[in-house]
Structure 1
Amino acid sequence: MKRYSFRVDTELRLLSCSGTTGSHADCLAASRGAHYYECIPRLWDGQEDAVHRAMEIRTHLTLKGYRMFCFYGEIQAADIEIEPLIDESSRCVGADVDIHALPGCAALGEIEHVHPLIDIGKVSVTLAHGVRNPLNAIKGAMVYLNEKYRSDATFGEFAAIINEEIGRLDRFITEFLSTSCLETHREQVQLNDLISKIVKLASFQAQASGVVFATEFGELPTLYIDSFNMGHAILNVINNSIGAMPRGGSVTLRTAVSAPSDAASVSIEISDTGTGMAPGGVVAPDGFPKWSSRKKGRGFGLFITREIIRHHGGSIEISGNREGGTTVLIVLPVSGCGECGDAN
């Protein structure tokens, strides 16, 4: 249960406020001296202002299951406590109002969803600037390595992938600093090819942990997606799987048409043989259970993954395997992806 409180004088003007951060509390904090009902809807007791009524009768007033509207929509129910303030001369000088938003409040759901975005926003610009300098150093090193080992076919294959990803990352950072990271550049993409490239990129990290990859590709239609962001989302899941297998294991990636009858969507299933999800529901800021064995981390990788997938009009589901480990199921629509920017 969340709450916020405020104090008013006898003219119903705000004197102070405290409690949960959010639009209500922020508005009240910035509006001292204004009438409380200029920031939140007026509280009614029948035909009278409830706060004024409590001061008039000088009695504690409780509004149980009070229905009120806010910036986010209707609060299904809130318990409101109004306590008149009586001074030493027995005069009423104001009132304290406590609003307890009950579970199920639409506003609270929205606020909880936004909190991870606020945390990410606090560090994102600094991170983007911080990545650019080492990225330039990597670009310079790749120029030297290309000259030195251009005759090595295997090196050439990986060097081409690295150079392509460096270019994508450089463009992404530039666009991120000037627009939004989810203002996507969509193109026709063969999902199986994208996953194959991601597996190659992750192969060295996997080998160092004794992890092997297996792929089972179905025949898929071409998708209209942002290959950089979608690749980032899938790689986040793979990295979590690798992190959950410190003593080795396997990651299996399967793709298929979700509904063979009409090919309306495609699925990506990523299963590992790791430690599985933590008992008791250890959750990341996105509300997903963590299954990585790494003790550090704030869960932002999964949060970003979910936002990218939702931005493409898709869905993601995480579940435990019967034999241990975790399975992540990503479903993406085949048609209409180009207009899913506002998908929730």
Structure 2
Amino acid sequence: MAPLIRPVLVPSRLPVGDLRGGVGTPYMVYDVRRDRYWLLFTGWSDPTGLKREGFVAPVDEGLNVDLSGLRKILPSTFPEPAEYTNNAVRGLYNEARDEFYVTSTHGKDAYIFVFDHEWVLKGYKVLVGGFNKDSGFPIRPTGAYGNIRDALAVAPIGDSSAVGLFMVRNVDDLNELKVEDWGELGRWGRGNDVIDFTTMPRFQVFVEVDSPNKWVLQTYIGPSLDEIWAIDDLKNVALLEASLMPLLGVEDSLTQIGHPHYTTLPDGKPKLLFASFRDTWSTRPDTKREGYTHEIWTVYVDESIFNPGSYG
């Protein structure tokens, strides 16, 4: 069956001024205590897309976003003034402490923020100083007894031609949290940018690749975590790189795509949320530069994206 592709948030149709410039880096977060789903994303009114802010809004199983419940959780001036702000957000819910954790790449650094269940800020910390990327910094707790309170993370490294692996120790305590650089996972001679990954059903990275020809989605395919003895064995694993595009069925009306996030939330169906950069091919009269109005879309996928044999 062909993939189903549909819009989630299109700025030109939204009644919210703060989002009319663009929306991007979508991420689904589930508050299991209240059985409530949230769409975490960036939005901006700035037509050049530099003053981005972090938002959350309730979303139902039909992927309808309730903008009456929209909350701005990361203003462009927070946690400090910067030229390029809160450009990629990723997040998760901690049921044990009834908290939300959000990571954001802001200015030169990558941050982690802790919010209570009503999205009131409790604290924050620099995760990686001098990060100098707008890729986001997704984290996935292992949950295993060998690594209680630890989380894996991925991000582009160096000149962004490679993807690196990180271990976040004591992820649930800002006072004890620290990040370890575990080295390179995979390499491809293009600009790896906004990124996401899974640890189930296997360790797999989804990434926007900004090549000179087109901004598209690629993947790095790793092992199932039950196929390795210890989590730090990932330091010695090289991931298979491949293009996701032939499996997605997207077409040229979207122009370019990026900002991938794999999830089964909120409807139980596997999907990739992504951003369309529809208007980058033309110059805007007001800014005298290319269009930068990002849109959030989703494409429903199947298990073939996790099968190495699907990539030829």
TM-based fold match above 0.5? no
Compare the two structures and name the one with the higher strand fraction.
2
Where relative contact order (Cα < 8 A, 6+ residues apart) is larger, the structure is 2
Query: Which of the two has higher C-alpha Rg?
Result: 1
Compare the two structures and name the one with the higher helix fraction.
1
Alignment TM-score, normalising by the size of structure 1:
0.24
